[in-house]
Amino acid sequence: MTKVLLDTDIGSDIDDAVCLAYLLAQPQCDLLGITTVTGEADRRAMMASALCKVAGADIPIFPGADLPMVVAQKQPAAPQAAALDRWPHEERFPRGEAVEFMRRTIRANPGEVVLLTIGPLTNAGLLFATDPEVCSLLKGYVLMCGVFSQSAQGSRPLEWNAVGDPHATAICYRAHPPLHRSVGLDVTRQVTMDADQVRSRFTTDLLRPVLDFAEVWFREARGSITFHDPLAAVTLFDQGICSFEKGTVEVELADPERLGQTVWTPGEGCHEVAFGVQPDRFFEHYFSVFR
């Protein structure tokens, strides 16, 4: 069993719900808790609660930071929460305790917890800023964040989770846990599924609420799902799906036009970054946990 703490902005891009469903169905995952981040963190917690109830899982859920550390909020609402009325869910959660819950859980399980962040990094940045030692007590830190290929960096791409709170992103990449691994946009874009495929495959009990949330996503003129966050989660349980390289990641904070850009330097370093993926192997693994 792998002990996991999930930090998510479920309710914006549909892939967060797709990822949480996977973790709840994965028999090797011991999901210790869920924290939510960015605008309407409470409604995001409700969405997480709806999936947990379908899974029959009693998972602690804590709404976290609604606002970034410094910059303006880019993600004020959780539009997929519009589908919540079809699914039972909790409506009240502890407030102001998300970061302390993360800190307390990691310290109670030294060397055993993987922190998985799949949204803007405000909660994780606050955690590492207020308790710098806690990152050394992790088993690992895995992020869906950034863009790292040299060709992509030449075009100055920006990735949503990294730019959502660039100052928190910088704090997170300065942290030195035993394992610091990123799965970036240049790799996750290779695992997509169109709306018709999603409707035909999201048929199990746990994926039905995800499909309801996805229909909100599809109504916003989006005809497919990219499995950004699920790919990062799957690497916890099948590391062969992605290939990784070592190097150093720095975060741009000086240039306003590139604020939050992840700058990759290959070679010796404390970071591991995904540079390849086997899409067929990924999808086989993902759906296998629901059978």
pLDDT tens per residue, range 63-111: 999 999 999 999 999 999 999 999 999 999 999 999 999 999 999 999 9
pLDDT band at 154 (very low <50, low <70, confident <90, very high): low
Going by C-beta distance under 8 Å and a sequence separation of 6 or more, which residues neighbour residue 221? none
Mean pLDDT of 27-45: 98
Q: With contact defined as beta carbons under 8 Å apart, do 186 and 147 qualify? A: yes
Residue 230 has pLDDT above 90, yes or no: yes
pLDDT band at 149 (very low <50, low <70, confident <90, very high): confident
Going by C-beta distance under 8 Å and a sequence separation of 6 or more, which residues neighbour residue 74? 68, 160, 163, 164
- Summary mean pLDDT of the chain: 96
Residue 237 pLDDT: 98
What's the CA gap between 145 and 160, in Å, rounded? Answer: 8
- CA-closest candidate to residue 6, choices 69, 51, 72: 51
Residue 157 pLDDT: 79
Mean pLDDT of 24-31: 98
Mean pLDDT of 127-156: 88
Mean pLDDT of 143-155: 78
Region for 70 from its dihedrals, namely left if φ exceeds 0, alpha if ψ lies in -120 to 50, beta otherwise = alpha
Q: Which domain holds residue 239?
A: 2-288
Residue 152 has pLDDT above 60, yes or no: no
Q: To which residue do tokens 């169905």 refer?
A: 25
Beta strands, E only, the chain: 2-8, 29-36, 61-63, 113-117, 140-144, 180-183, 192-194, 224-226, 242-251, 262-266, 271-277
Residue 151 pLDDT: 62
pLDDT digits 0-9 by tens, 173-201: 999 999 999 999 999 999 999 999 999 99
Report the CATH number that the domain containing residue 266 is assigned in CATH: 3.90.245.10
**DSSP helix/strand/coil, 81:** helix
Which of 3-7, 43-47, 137-141, 153-157 is least confident?
A: 153-157
Question: Length of the chain, please?
Answer: 291
Residue 150 pLDDT: 66
Residue 228 has pLDDT above 90, yes or no: yes
What's the CA gap between 208 and 161, in Å, rounded? Answer: 26
pLDDT band at 221 (very low <50, low <70, confident <90, very high): confident
Residue 184 pLDDT: 97
pLDDT band at 222 (very low <50, low <70, confident <90, very high): confident
Report the domain count for the chain.
1
